[in-house]
Structure 1
Amino acid sequence: MISNQQSLNLSPYSGIYDIVVPKDNMLRQINELVDFSFVLDELQNKYCLDNGRNAVPPIRMFKYLLLKSIFDLSDVDVVERSKYDMSFKYFLDMDPEESVINPSSLTKFRKLRLKDVNLLDMLIQKTVEIALEKELIKSTSIIVDATHTKSRFNQKSPYEFLMEKSKLLRKAVYQVNEDMKEKFPSKPTTDDVVETVAYCKKVVQVVENEQSICEYPKVKEKLNYLNEIVVDFQENLSPSNDPDARTGHKTVDSSFFGYKTHIAMNEERIITGAVITTGEKSDGKFLQQLIGKSQKAGMKVKAIIGDTAYSEKDNIQFTKENDMKLISKLHPIITQGPRKPGDEFEFNKDAGMYVCKAGHMAVRKARTGKKNTNNSQSHTYYFDIEKCKVCPFKDGCYKEGAKSKTYSVTIKSPEHNEQRAFQDSEYFKIQAKERYKIEAKNSELKNRHGYDVAISSGLLGMEMQGAMTIFAVNIKRIVTLLKGIK
C-alpha cells in the first residue's frame, strides 16, 4: 500500500543536511532539478492504495536504482552506503536517523513494479523535457551510433561462470587469511547448475560468518557480487546462461556476446532516443526508429550524423522524404539489393562483411560483374558451408549438397550516387566532425557507469539497466550545462 507519498516527516535532525550536503553537491542539484513525482504517477496503479502495509515509497526505490547507476554499485553496496552517506540519505528524502531498506527490496521493485513500464522511453523523454524547459537545447541535429554491452555470462556455461566468480572471492579471502582454505566446502564434482549454485551459496555463507574478513572492501565487493549472482540463478535456473544474448561482431577478428544499445544524441550531448537489441542486429536498421523517438521526446530533427552503417538506401530515401540531411558517408555495399523483406542478411560495417540470420559471418568476399558497363557490379560474400549444413535456419537458405553458400549485393544505385555527391560538400564535411561526441558518450556509459557488462540476464534486464544509466548520464549532463560548462 502507498499513501501520503508527498509528505515529509519533520525530524529534529533534518537541519544537519544544510551543513553536510553543500549546495554544489551533485545529488542536491539533481534533487532540485528533477520533480520525481512522475515516478509516482507512472507506478501508482502497481500498488494497492487502501490495503496492506505501507510500502517503501516508489520514488525512493527509483532513486536507489538511480544511485546504483550514477555510482556503479551493487544492490547491497548502494544500501550500505545509504546508511552513512548523508548525501545519499538527503537524495532519498530520508530523515538522518531513518533506517534503510533491505537490499532484496530492490530486486522485487524491478521485477514487480517496473516489469511492464516502458522505462527507457519514459526516462529519456523526461530528461529531454527538462533540458527544453531550461532552454539548453539549441541544435537541430542528432548524432547516432550503437554501443555494445557484453552479457553478464560472456558466453560461458553457468558452471564456468559461477566457479570463476567464487574463485575470485576465495582468492580475495586468502589474501587476508590463508587459513580460510580449510573452511570452504569441497568443489562440485560435476558441472550440474543446481550443485554449483549450492556450492557458491555455501562459499558465501562461510565468508559472511567471518565478520572480520568480509568487512575488507576487496572481499566485500566480490562477496556482494557472488551473492547477487547466486540469487539470480536460484530464481532463473535454466540450461541457458543468457537466453536473449547474441553474438555480435566488432571486426572480422573480434566478436562479443551480449546486446546493443542504439543511441541518438543531440549536439548538447543529451541522449534523445535509444533502442536496445540483441548483439547481432545491424546499426543502420534502427535509424528511423531513433529519429521518431527523438522527435517524440521534443527534438526538432533536421540533420542526422552517423558512420557508414546508416547510409543504406532506405535511410537515404527516408531522410530525403522528410526534408532531413543524412551526414553519413556512403559505403558502396551497404544496400541489401533486391531480396525480399525478412530474407536479408545484416551488414556489419566494422568487419566489412555480411552476417546471416544465425549470426555467422562471411569468410570472404569477391567483386563480380563487368567493369565499365551500364550494368551494376556486385559484391559476393561466401559463407562456411560446414556451418550451413548444421544451421537451424538452413531451410530455404542452404541447398543440401551445395558446394558453396553465397550472398550478393548490388553496389550502385541512384540514391547512392546522389549521396556520394552530397558527402563531397563543405556542409557535410563540417557536420561530420561532430560525430566524435557520441564516441565520448559511449565511453562515459561504459567506463563511469558500468555499461560495458550487463548486470542481469535477459533483454528486459538490459532495457532496465539502459533506462537508468541513460537517465543518470542525461541528468548529469544537464547539471553540467546549467553550470555553464560546455
Structure 2
Amino acid sequence: MLRNSQQLKLSEFTAIYDRLIPKNHFLRKFNTLVDFSFIQDELEHKYCLDNGRNALSPIMLFKYLLLKVIYNMSDSDLVERSRYDMSFKYFLGLRPEDEVIHPSTLTKFRKLRLQDENILDLLLKKSIQIALENKVIKSKRIIVDATHTKARYNQKSAYERLLEQAKLLRKTVYQTDSPQKKERFPKKVENGSLVDALEYCRQLINTIENDSQMAEMPAIQERLNLLKETVEDHAEHLATSKDEDARIGHKTADTSFFGYKTHIAMTDERLITAAVVTSGERSDGEQLRTLVEKTRAAGLEVQSVIGDTAYSGKENLKFAESKDAPEKSFELIAKLNPVISNGSRVEGSNGFSFNKDAGMFVCPEGHMAIRKARTGRKNNRTNQRMSYYFDIEKCKQCPHCGTCYKEGAKSKIYSVTIKCDLHKKQQEFQETEYFKEQARKRYMIEAKNSEIKHRHGYDIASSAGLIGMELQGALTLFVTNMKRIVKMMEK
C-alpha cells in the first residue's frame, strides 16, 4: 500500500543536518530545487492504494538511483554509504536514526516500477521546466549529436568478465593484505566453462567474506561488491551473455562498437532538451525530427539547429523548410555532404541509412557497404549517382534475404543521386560567414557527451536491453541537467 505522505518525519536529531551539511552542498540545493512529488504521481498506478503493508517511498527509491548516477557507485556501496553519510540521508528524506534499505530493493524497484514508464521524456521535461521557471534558458537554438554506449555484456563473454572482476579483487587483496593468504583462495578457472567460473567467483567471495578483517578494508570491500553484482547479474540473465537489443554501430569505415546510441539535443546553455535512445546501428540524421518535436513539447522555441553532416539529408532539409507550416521552420546549420542527397530515392527507403563517420551506407541489418563508386556520365541530362556495394556473402545469410536482396543475385548495390535542388540551396547557405560562425558552436555538445561518459559512467551500459539503457540515460541526463542548472543559478 502506498502512503500519500512522503514528508520528512520529525526527529530530535534533525538539527544534525544543519550542522553537518553546508548550505552550498549540491545535494541540499538539488533537493530544494526539485519537487519530487511528480515521481509519486507518475508511479502511483504501480501500487495498491488501499491494501497490503506500507510500501517504501518511490520518491526515496528514485533518489537512491540518482545518487548512484551522481557518485557512480554499486548498489551495495551506495546503500552502505547512505547508512552513515548525513548528506545522503538528508537527500533521501530519512531521519538521521532511520535504517536504510537492502540493496536488492533497488533492483526490484527498477524492474517492477520503472520498466513500462516513459521516464526519459518525463525527467528531461521536468528539468527543462525547472530551468524555465528559474529563467536560465534564453536561447532559441539547439545543437544535436549522438553519443555511443557500449553494451555491458557483449564486449567480453560472461566467462571473461567474471574472471576479470575476480582478478581485480585478488589484485586488491594482494596489495593490502599478507601475500601468504594467496594459498587460501580457490584455484583459478581456465577451462572456459561459465558454470565453473561462476562457482569459482562464489568461492572467492565466500573466502574473503569469512575473513572479517580482510572484508572490512574499504578497497577490498568495493571490489568485492562489484564482483558480487556481476555474479548476480550473470546468474540471473546471462547464461549466454547476449544483449538482444544491442547492435553494431560504426564510428569510421574500419572501427565499430556493439551497443547503443543516445541522440541528444542541447541548448546553448548546455542543457539537454530531448533525447532518443536507439540500438547502435541507427542513423543520427533520422532522429532530428523527433528531437526537435520533443524540444518544442518541453516548452522551448526552436529557430535554429546545429549539427554535423549526418543531419543534412534531404528529408531533414524538407523538415527544416516546413512549407506546410512556415511558423515551424528553422535554420538547419549542418554542412552538406553530397553523397547524402538522394533525388530519386526517399531517404531511408528500405531501411538504408548513411553513416557520416564512415562515409558509407548501412543496410537495415547494420552491415556497412564495403566500397562505393560514382556512376553515370558528367554533363548529361540525368544526374550522376553514387553506388554502394555490399558483401554478398553476408546478404545470403541475412534475415532480409528475399526482400532487400534477391536470391541468386551476384551483387547487392544501393545507389543515390548526387545532387538535388534542395541540396543546392543548402550548399549556398553553408558558404556564408553566418553559417560558418554558427557551425563553430557544435563543439559544446561534444564536451557534454564527454561529461556524461567520463563523469557518470555512460560509456558502458549498466544493464542489458534497450529498456535498461533508456533508464540509465534518463537518470544520467536528468542529473547532468540539474548540476548545470545549479551552477548557472550560482552565477
Q: Which moved more, 1:223-232 or 1:242-251?
A: 223-232
Cα offsets for 1:352-377 (capped at 9, x unmatched): 11122222222221111212333211
1:336–1:344 contact (8 Å) kept in structure 2: no
CA distance in 1, matches of 2:342, 2:231: 44
Deviation at 1:333, TM superposition (A): 1.0
Q: Following the alignment from structure 1 to structure 2, what is the Cα–Cα distance between the partners of residues 418 and 342? A: 23
Does residue 1:437 correspond to 2:438, yes or no? no
Q: Which residue of 2 aligns with 1:387?
A: 394
Q: Please tell me whether residue 330 in structure 1 is matched to residue 336 in structure 2.
A: yes
- Residue 133 of structure 2 is aligned to residue 133 of structure 1: yes
Give, as a single letter, the amino acid of the residue that structure 2 aligns with 1:7. Q
Q: Indicate if the aligned counterparts of 1:156 and 1:241 stay in contact, CA closer than 8 A.
A: no
Partner of 1:456 in structure 2? Answer: 463
The reply to whether residue 98 of structure 1 matches residue 102 of structure 2 is no
1:29 partner letter = K
1:145 correspondence with 2:145: yes
Gap change, CA 1:373 and 1:32, over 3 Å in 2:
same
1:239 aligns with 2:240: yes
Q: What are the Cα deviations for residues 192-211 of structure 1, in whole angstroms up to 9, with x where unaligned?
A: 54443333233222222223
Uncovered stretches (5+) of structure 1, i.e. residues with no partner: none
Q: 2:352 aligns with which of 342, 345, 355?
A: 345
- Indicate the SS of the match to 2:40: helix
Q: Contact 2:342 / 2:418 at 8 angstroms: preserved in 1? A: no
Q: Structure 1 residue 240: deviation in Å? A: 4.4
| d(CA) in 1 for partners of 2:25, 2:351 | 51
1:175 aligns with 175
Query: Hey, what's the Cα distance between the residues in 2 that align with 1:392 and 1:164?
Result: 35
Matched letter for residue 477 of structure 1: R
Going from structure 1 to structure 2, the CA distance change for 1:193 and 1:393 (only over 3 Å counts) comes to farther
Contact 1:148 1:260 in 2 (8 A): yes
- SS of the residue aligned with 1:407? strand
In the superposition, the TM-score normalised over structure 2's length comes to 0.94
Is the CA contact 1:5–1:57 (under 8 Å) kept in the aligned structure 2?
no
Higher mean C-alpha displacement, 343-352 vs 253-262: 343-352
| Alignment partner, residue 39 of structure 1 | 39
8 Å contact from structure 2 (residues 384, 418) kept in 1: yes
**Residue 433 of structure 2 corresponds to which residue in structure 1?**
426
Structure 1 position 191, deviation (Å): 4.1
1:9 Cα deviation after fit = 1.8
Q: Supply the distance in 1 between the matched residues of 2:51 and 2:183 (Cα, whole angstroms).
A: 51
Change (3 A) 1:201 1:335: farther
How big is the shift at 1:28? 0.5
| Identical amino acids, percent of aligned pairs | 58
The 3 A distance-change label for structure 1 pair 180 and 256 is: farther
Equivalent position amino acid for 2:357 in 1: D
Structure 1 counterpart of 2:374, which letter? Answer: R
CA distance in 2 between partners of 1:262 and 1:397 (Å):
27
User: Greater shift after overlay, 448-457 or 194-203?
Assistant: 194-203
Q: Work out the CA distance in 2 between the residues paired with 1:87 and 1:418.
A: 56
What is the Cα-based RMSD across aligned positions, in Å? 1.9
Shift in Å at residue 339 of structure 1? Answer: 4.5
Secondary structure at the counterpart of residue 477 of structure 1:
helix
Number of matched pairs: 484
Q: Is the 8 A contact 1:353 1:361 kept in 2?
A: yes
- Write the distance in 1 (CA, Å) between the matches of 2:180 and 2:29: 48
1:342–1:165 Cα change, 3 Å: farther
CA separation of 1:180/1:346 partners in 2, compared to 1, >3 Å: closer, same or farther?
farther
Deviation, 1:48, is: 2.0
- Give the aligned partner of residue 325 of structure 2: none
Equivalent residue for 1:377, pick from 362, 384, 393: 384
Q: How does 1:31-110 map to 2 (within 5 A)?
A: 31-110=31-110
Mapped partners of 1:214, 1:354: distance in 2: 53
> Please, what TM-score do these two structures have when normalized by structure 1?
0.95
Distance in structure 1 (CA, Å) of the matches to 2:210 and 2:413: 60
CA distance in 2, matches of 1:344, 1:300: 31
Q: 1:28 to 1:419 in 2, by over 3 A?
A: same
In structure 2, what residue type is equivalent to 1:457? A
Q: Is the 8 A contact 2:144 2:306 kept in 1?
A: yes
Q: Which ranges in structure 2 are unaligned for 5 or more consecutive residues?
A: 323-327
Amino acid at match of 1:160: E
Inter-partner Cα distance in structure 2 for 1:42 and 1:158:
36
Partner of 1:406: 413
- Counterpart Cα distance in 1 of 2:381 and 2:293: 38
What is the CA deviation profile of residues 136-174 of structure 1, one whole-angstrom value per residue up to 9, with x for unaligned ones? Answer: 111111110000011112433222222222222223223
